């Protein structure tokens, strides 16, 4: 059999591809920090048997229809809302993602974001660098406690459970809301399942870890922020699309909630003129949840392993459909 041709939509380290080079012919977009052009992706995909894509590539029904020769798309992310999964199914194209390898890293970042927001660390860092530290005073940059508070996790997948484990280390009470109950996690952590309204009204920290779907789009809106405590801090480390950002900005400005820590935005990248960036009580990060060198290497390897086990083994390791 000819070596399958794989097109990679971003420049990845050659050293990671090397171990697979006797099994695949790789073609790759030549830039690391700039997404591939739409036309280039289409042109290159037509010559490929499989793809490795980033979350910056929108893979829709039309794209898939124009690429009937594609057999598999390995998405370099655990989330796959950039790909029309129903259409991929219809066109018999397998889609894989990168679960597990990024769980702990993403949970670390989520919890760090929660702490940074609660303790106003970014604001404090900005202030000191702008020569604004004039005197110690009792309530200078006083933030919110994390220990012994209640965390409400919306979306109790693998990352949710890993965040909950960190929260237990801070003696937090863990509430969660999820499509299905997690009896083992409830027992082991422990964590308490509550309905969405209860989670909103009881939590000091509301943490969104839900995927972006038609059902969750804009879920966190004005009405939802109104249900939270005025002292509540909202954290989003899943997808920006689950938040109505104008409603969030207004909730933060008007004291409806106390703060927000955001790693994701509805349209990425955001520019410096984004409303949320002007707010001191919003800590904003450029979608770096899984961004450690080790984890990103593991994610690339999992994509390659998925291709390898699909073409040469007994099926992809982590298919999403
Ligand atoms: C994911 O994997 O879905 C993250 O958002 C990107 O690292």
For residue 141, what pLDDT is reported? 98
| pLDDT recorded at residue 224 | 98
Cβ of 212 closer than 6 Å to ligand 1, yes or no, is no
Within 10 angstroms of residue 224's Cβ, the number of other Cβ atoms is 22
At residue 78, does pLDDT exceed 90? yes
State the Cα–Cα distance between residues 164 and 177, nearest whole angstrom. 12
The rounded Å distance from CA 289 to ligand 1 centre is: 7
CA distance 245 to 270: 12
Number of residues in the chain: 321
Predicted confidence (pLDDT) per residue in 279-304, tens digit = 999 999 999 999 999 999 999 999 99
pLDDT digits over 196-234, tens only?
A: 999 999 999 999 999 999 999 999 999 999 999 999 999
Q: Is the CB of 261 under 6 A from ligand 1?
A: no
Domains and CATH numbers, the chain: 5-101+293-312 (3.40.50.720), 103-284 (3.40.50.720)
Closest atom of ligand 1 to CA, residue 238: 5
What are phi and psi for residue 26, nearest 5 degrees? -100, 135
The answer to whether the CB of 290 is under 6 A from ligand 1 is yes
Assigned token pair, 80: 């796959």
Q: Which atom of ligand 1 is nearest to the CA of 77?
A: 2
Res 201: pLDDT: 98
CA–CA gap between residue 59 and residue 84 (Å, rounded): 6
SS3 269: coil
Q: Mean pLDDT in the chain?
A: 98
| Residue located nearest, by CA, to atom 4 of ligand 1 | 77
pLDDT value of position 1: 76
Nearest CA to ligand 1 atom 6: 77
Q: Considering the entire predicted model, what is its pTM?
A: 0.97
Residue 232 CA to residue 121 CA, distance in Å, equals: 17
pLDDT band at 187 (very low <50, low <70, confident <90, very high): very high
Q: Tell me the per-residue pLDDT of 27-62, one tens digit each, with 9 for 90 and over.
A: 999 999 999 999 999 999 999 999 999 999 999 999
Q: What percent of the chain has pLDDT over 70?
A: 100
Contact residues for 269 (Cβ-Cβ < 8 A; gap 6+): 286
- Known catalytic residues? 239, 268, 287
């Amino acid at each position: 059999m000819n070596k399958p041709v794989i097109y990679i939509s971003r420049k990845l380290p050659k050293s990671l591809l090397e171990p697979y080079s006797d099994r695949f012919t790789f073609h790759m977009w030549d830039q690391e920090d700039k997404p591939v052009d739409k036309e280039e992706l289409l042109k290159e995909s037509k010559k490929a048997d499989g793809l490795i894509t980033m979350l910056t590539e929108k893979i829709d029904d039309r794209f898939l229809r124009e690429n009937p020769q594609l057999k598999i798309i390995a998405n370099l992310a655990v989330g796959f809302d950039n790909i029309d999964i129903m259409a991929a199914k219809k066109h018999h194209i397998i889609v894989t993602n990168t679960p597990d390898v990024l769980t702990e890293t993403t949970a670390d970042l989520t919890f760090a974001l929660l702490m940074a927001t609660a303790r106003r660390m970014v604001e404090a860092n900005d202030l000191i660098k702008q020569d604004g530290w004039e005197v110690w005073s009792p309530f200078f940059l006083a933030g919110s406690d994390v220990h012994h508070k209640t965390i409400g996790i919306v979306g109790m997948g693998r990352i949710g459970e890993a965040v909950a484990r960190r929260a237990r280390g801070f003696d937090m009470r863990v509430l969660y809301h999820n499509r299905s109950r997690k009896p083992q996690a409830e027992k082991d952590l422990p964590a308490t399942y509550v309905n969405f309204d209860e989670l909103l009204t009881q939590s000091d920290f509301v943490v969104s870890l839900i995927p972006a779907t038609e059902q969750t789009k804009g879920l966190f809106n004005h009405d939802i922020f109104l249900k939270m405590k005025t002292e509540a801090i909202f954290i989003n480390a899943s997808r920006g699309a689950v938040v109505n950002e104008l409603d969030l900005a207004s909730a933060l400005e008007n004291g409806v909630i106390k703060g927000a820590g955001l790693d994701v935005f509805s349209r990425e990248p955001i520019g410096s003129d984004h409303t949320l960036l002007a707010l001191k009580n919003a800590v904003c990060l450029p979608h770096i949840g899984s961004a450690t060198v080790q984890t990103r290497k593991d994610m690339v390897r999992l994509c390659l392993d998925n291709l390898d086990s699909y073409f040469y083994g007994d099926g992809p390791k982590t298919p999403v459909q």
